[in-house]
Amino acid sequence: MKKYSLALLYAVLILLAVLMVFPLLFTILLSLSDNADIMNGQYWPQVLHFENYAEAFTKANLLYYMKNSVIVAAVTTFCQVALALLAAYAIVFIPFRGSGIVFGLFMSGMMIPMDVLMITNFQTINAAGLLNTYAGIILPCIGSAFGIFLLRQNMKQIPLELKEASDIAGVGQFYFFRKVVVPLSKNSIITLAVYCFLVSWNNYLWPLIATTKDEVRTIQIGLRMLSASDTQQDFRLVAAATMIVTIPTLILMFFGQSRLQEGLTKGALK
């Protein structure tokens, strides 16, 4: 009986794994195909067209956009994690009147999708003269209610006694924050950083709206430029470029996965 249910579990897991991996494998297949074959339903390439990758690289100027994406994603991640850490710390460890309301406000912010704010953000950035700057792309993305929530959940696991012991020992807030809270929140911080980097890396609409010129545009926009307008899609090229763009995120996932899992479930279960 037990064996039977285990087999069922594995069957479901394998099915899910296949569902998850299929788009990736399919993209790899397409990226090595000839476009005419794709349009004729030939998804298994007869000849492997590795040159698609070289073409994608040069045609879309991927390296240039990638540089922008690295800067935007890295700075966004750093700022978002730093801000979320400080905000969560204040909510958890500094008792002040209305801290519950402040936290509630942050949380209600989580329910407003970024897309709704797109126009207002654009007007703000435009009025501030930040159109076509890294700052313009980054600033609206550095406040993260989710980040605050995640880190708060983690910090609530830290016994209040540690804070009291620190107070009595005579160390300041920042000392306690730096020496105790940050090291003890390490997993959640890494989780948030990886998550934030991926979101930022994959962001398309906002960087497009916040820019009118190519100078600071990010990789997803570069990718979009390859996708044809008003005509048949050049799938092999789009697939090849997609693979190139995906590689950094895959690397990140590969190294961050265990911590990501741990961090996300930790906050959820306890």
Partner 1 sequence: MTRKAIAVLLMAVLGLTGLTACSSQTASEEVAAADNAGEESDAQETEEAADTGKTEILLWHVMSGDRLEQLEVIVDGFNASQDQYEVVAEAQGEYDEANAKFLNMAGGEGSPAIMQIGDQHIQAMYDSGLVENISDMMEKYQYDSSQLLAQAVDFYTVEGSLYAMPFNCSSPVVYYNVEALKNAGLDTPPDTFEGIIEAASAIAEANEGMKAFSITSWGYLLDQLLTNSGYPIVNNDNGRSARATEAAYQEGLLRFYQFIQDLIEADGFENYGESDDDINAGFNNGDIAMFITTSAWATSIMDSAPFEVGIAGIPHFADCEPQGVYAGGGAFVMSKDLPEDVQAGAFEFLAYAASSEVQAVWAANTGYYPVNQGAYETETMKTLYEEQPMMKIAADQLLNGQQNSITAGPLVTTLVQIRDDMMAGAELVFNGGDPQEAVNMAVESTNQQLEMANAQ
Partner 2 sequence: MIKMENIAKSYDGNTMVIRDIGLEIKKGEFFVLLGPSGCGKSTLLRMIAGLEEITAGDLWIDGRHANELLPKERNLSMVFQNYALFPHMTVRDNILFGLDARKVAKKEQDERLNKVAEIMGLAEYLKRKPAQLSGGQRQRVALARSICSQTPICLMDEPLSNLDAKLRGQMRGEIRRIQRMLGLTIVYVTHDQVEAMTMGDRIMVLNEGCVQQIGEPLTVYNDPENLQVATFIGMPQMNIFRARAEQEGLRLNGSLILRRCGGQPCPAPAEECIVGIRAEHFRRGNESTGYVLEAKAAMVEYTGDETQISFENGQGYSVVKWPGQIPAEAGEALTLGVDAEHLYFFDKDTGHRIRQDGGRSQ
Question: By the criterion CB under 8 A, which residues form the site for partner 1?
Answer: 35-36, 38-41, 71, 75, 119, 122-123, 126, 129-136, 205, 208-209, 212-216, 221, 224-235, 237
Choose the contact partner of 209 out of partner 1, partner 2, none; CB within 5 to 8 A by kind.
partner 1
Contact pattern for partner 2 over residues 129 through 168, marking x by CB under 8 A = ------------------------------x-xx-xxxxx
Window of 67-75, 131-139, 146-154, 179-187 that interacts with partner 2 by CB under 8 A: 179-187
Binding range to partner 2, per CB under 8 A, among 29-37, 79-87, 169-177, 218-226: 169-177
Query: Is the Cβ–Cβ distance between 206 and 137 less than 8 Å?
Result: yes
Residues 217-246 as x/- pattern, contact with partner 2 by CB under 8 A: ------------------------------
Nearer CB in complex with partner 1: 214/262: 214
Minimum gap (Å) between residue 174 Cβ and partner 2: 10
Minimum CB separation from partner 1 for residue 227, in Å? 6
Q: Provide DSSP, the chain.
A: -HHHHHHHHHHHHHHHHHHHHHHHHHHHHHHTS-HHHHHTT--S-SS--THHHHHHHHHTTHHHHHHHHHHHHHHHHHHHHHHHHHHHHHHHHS--TTHHHHHHHHHHHHTS-HHHHHHHHHHHHHHTT-TTSHHHHHGGGS--HHHHHHHHHHHTTS-HHHHHHHHHHT--HHHHIIIIIHHHTHHHHHHHHHHHHHHHHH--HHHHHT-SSSTT--HHHHHHHHS-SSS---HHHHHHHHHHHHHHHHHHHHHHHHHHHHHHHHHHH-
47 binds, among partner 1, partner 2, none (CB under 5 to 8 A by kind): none
In the complex with partner 1, which residue's Cβ is closer, 32 or 237? 237
| Smallest separation (angstroms) from partner 1 to the CB of 176 | 25
Residues that bind partner 2 (CB under 8 A): 159, 161-162, 164-172, 175, 179-180, 183-184
